[in-house]
Structure 1
Amino acid sequence: MEARRLAILCSHLNPSSPYPTRDSILRAFDCTSGSSDDEKVESSNLQNDCVFCKIVRGESPCLKLYEDDMCLCILDTSPLIHGHSLIIPKLHYPTLEQTPPSVVAAMCSKVPLISNAIVKATDSDSFNLLVNNGAAAGQVIFHTHIHIIPRKERDCLWASESLRRQTLKLDKEASQLALRVREQLCRVPEEQLVQPSS
């Protein structure tokens, strides 16, 4: 598997041809690839009825943009805008707070690479990075995922862009909110606060 990863990395750094071959395009977008015994995702951490778990297992179609050992990026099947994509972990975690920090870090570490490619491919100016975490926040598929939404100037994608933001009032209410958040952070186990060494 390490040799495969190195070969993929080298092919991106020194492509043999400036134009992709038909086979390389089909491999890149075949969601059933990676089904060899050494690359199978542990099925005990996948849900039978979860659409993202079905995609990971190769049981549901998708247009794959990127894949590694921890996560994959696909085009959203109900995009807000052309190029709207999702980074999903290969193991099932219903919400962000249930996702191990190492998995969140792996997903987030791919954002610069993937978003840059999406922005260029869609001739966009920038992008939104979004996580809908929980039903009240608009999460529909309860398998952690990060939205990458390419944006163009004046695309008016969000209705809220026309709303004016209000300046934070540094009053008693804001101070109490900050205090309550800090109290919650003090209750977090020590091992969750330790930063991994680089």
Structure 2
Amino acid sequence: MTDCIFCKIIAGDLPATKVIEDEQTLAFMDINPGSHGHALVIPKAHSKDLTAIGPDDLAACLSTAQELARRAMENLGADGVNLINCCGAAAWQTVFHFHLHVVPRYADGPHRDGLQLPWVPAPGDPGEIADAARALSNGD
């Protein structure tokens, strides 16, 4: 895709600070990091989002993300890692090439960890939860 920024990075037409590259995936540093060590994992084959990516490319991206998470904990001293995918504009996707955010998390505060997610867990309505479960189970 000639207008996709991530495809341009894969092709070498745009710069990126690469950290892992294999036949199917590329991992590089996010230029708008939520924390120290925040990186992105993308498939080399263009897929617009989670609903479009093939199972082999998705598995390869997850494997690369797992390796990055391990490295963040071992080499950067991260206390944990968030793995985030945004699928669709309503879910904050801004680049329409499937990608995973691998965001190291640090217990020692905001000097290395500025990510604040908007979701605060609270109890849901049991009836609505059951209705959604039926719909997701194809039993609607």
Normalised by the length of structure 2, the TM-score is 0.87
**Structure 1 or 2: larger helix share?**
1
Shift >6 Å, 4+ stretches: none
Alpha-carbon deviation of 1:77? Answer: 1.2
Cα distance in structure 2, aligned partners of 1:72 and 1:139: 18
Aligned to 2:69: 115
**1:55-70 equivalence runs, <5 A:** 55-70=9-24
**1:90-129 equivalence runs, <5 A:** 90-129=44-83
Cα distance in structure 2, aligned partners of 1:145 and 1:78: 14
Cα distance in structure 2, aligned partners of 1:144 and 1:160: 21
Does 1:157 find its partner at 2:115?
yes
Does 1:48 find its partner at 2:2?
yes
Cα distance in structure 1, aligned partners of 2:100 and 2:115: 18
Listed one character per residue, the Cα deviations across residues 53-96 of structure 1 (whole Å, up to 9, x for unaligned) are 01111111111000111001000111112211000000111111
Cα distance in structure 2, aligned partners of 1:159 and 1:66: 26
Q: Secondary structure at the match of 1:174?
A: helix
Question: What percentage of aligned pairs have identical amino acids?
Answer: 32
Q: Secondary structure at the match of 1:183?
A: coil
Q: Secondary structure at the match of 2:68?
A: helix
**Structure 1 or 2: larger strand share?**
2
Q: Secondary structure at the match of 2:137?
A: helix
Does 1:181 find its partner at 2:132?
no
Does 1:83 find its partner at 2:41?
no
Alpha-carbon deviation of 1:140? Answer: 0.6
Higher relative contact order (CA 8 A, sep 6+): 2
Listed one character per residue, the Cα deviations across residues 99-140 of structure 1 (whole Å, up to 9, x for unaligned) are 011110111122222211123332211110000111000001
Alpha-carbon deviation of 1:51? Answer: 1.0
Unaligned runs of 5+ in 1: 1-46, 187-198
Q: Secondary structure at the match of 1:48?
A: coil
Question: What's the Cα RMSD here?
Answer: 1.9
Q: Number of matched residues?
A: 136
Amino acid at match of 1:158: Q
Q: Which has the larger radius of gyration?
A: 1
Aligned to 1:18: none
**1:17-32 equivalence runs, <5 A:** none
Normalised by the length of structure 1, the TM-score is 0.63
